[in-house]
Amino acid sequence: MLGNPSHLNITGGFDGKRILAFQKLYALEHPAKFKSYISSTVAKNGYISRYQVWTSKQCKGKMFRYSCVYGVEDLPVIIKQDHLRVRKRESSPIDFDSSPYAEIPLVELSRGIPFQNLTHPEWLLRLHELIET
């Protein structure tokens, strides 16, 4: 329905015929890239507003009602997606200690901890290098 704006003209809708035409043209003009994309294990879907995985081999969390409930191990794939939001998340399915995050200098500063009390102030010395790369 979202791929047919003449029948359902809503925010986030798109013209599915134009997308299919683009895919065919791209496959003709860039066959190697298209084949690589089609055969990749990266999750693909038609949603433009959220990242959704429907197959268990792509889901590192757990499947619930034929839909992936993301876990910590899904993060490397999720952060590479340009979608607006993730639909479902579960609390950590594996042992995961997030306490080191609280020691990141910018996190500590945002909590009001003074510079002189930072756990790892030396990390700020390399911040400009990370931003420039």
Q: What is the pLDDT of residues 69-120, one digit of tens each?
A: 888 888 888 777 665 555 556 665 567 777 888 888 888 888 888 888 989 8
In whole angstroms, what is the distance from residue 50 CA to residue 62 CA? Answer: 18
Q: What is the pLDDT of residues 29-52, one digit of tens each?
A: 888 887 877 676 555 544 455 677
Question: In 3D, which of 93, 101, 99 has the Cα closest to residue 123?
Answer: 101
pTM: 0.33
In whole angstroms, what is the distance from residue 77 CA to residue 40 CA? Answer: 13
